[in-house]
Amino acid sequence: MDTAATPAAGTGTDSIDLNQLGNDLRIVVGRIVRRFRLGDLGGEVTASDLSVLARLERHGALPPTALAEQERISPQAISAIVGKLEDRGLIARGMDAEDGRRSTLWATPAGRRLLAGRRSRNAQHVARALGAELSPEEQQQLLAALPLLERLADRL
């Protein structure tokens, strides 16, 4: 028996195909994520560059090898991205405080400003779309669904 497609008894979801719901949700969320990543890059940086920069902002200083592992890309690919971000002054490199043979990377103030600007533009873009596309009632429904989506994200 496929339990993923079978709702719990008494949940009132007897007619919902959870596999289809999960697939539909994955597709919609994927479209939203792609629009954020690719929407207005304008040649400033690539989606991969932004991912690396955001990871360094979130996690602080990391050695290049750990950064490559966390980004799930090759050391050669991380080296190219790091070189470009360093050249633009968006990240900096220094020696590891515990192991002077190892270098670490971190986001610079310019890198943090770039990310903050993109986040602000993304938030404004979403706010405009919410206002233009959704009725006040639909906006309330979406707001009410956010805790459910958060709980689901924590579970995945």
**Tens of pLDDT along 50-93?**
999 999 999 999 999 999 999 999 999 999 999 999 999 999 99
DSSP H stretches of helix in 39-108: 47-59, 64-71, 75-87
Domain boundaries 17-155, corresponding CATH code: 1.10.10.10
20 vs 144: CA distance, rounded Å: 22
Mean pLDDT of the chain: 87
Measured over the CA atoms of residue 10, residue 12, residue 14 and residue 20, the dihedral's sign is: negative
Rounded Cα gap, residues 54 and 39, in angstroms: 17
Tokens of 57: 């902002």
Q: What pLDDT score does 129 carry?
A: 92
Sign of the C-alpha dihedral, residues 96, 102, 107, 111?
Answer: positive
**d(C-alpha 97, C-alpha 104), whole Å:** 9
pLDDT tens for the 156 residues of the chain, in order: 444 444 544 455 568 999 999 999 999 999 988 887 666 555 678 888 999 999 999 999 999 999 999 999 999 999 999 999 999 999 999 987 787 788 999 999 999 999 999 889 888 989 999 999 999 999 999 999 999 999 998 888
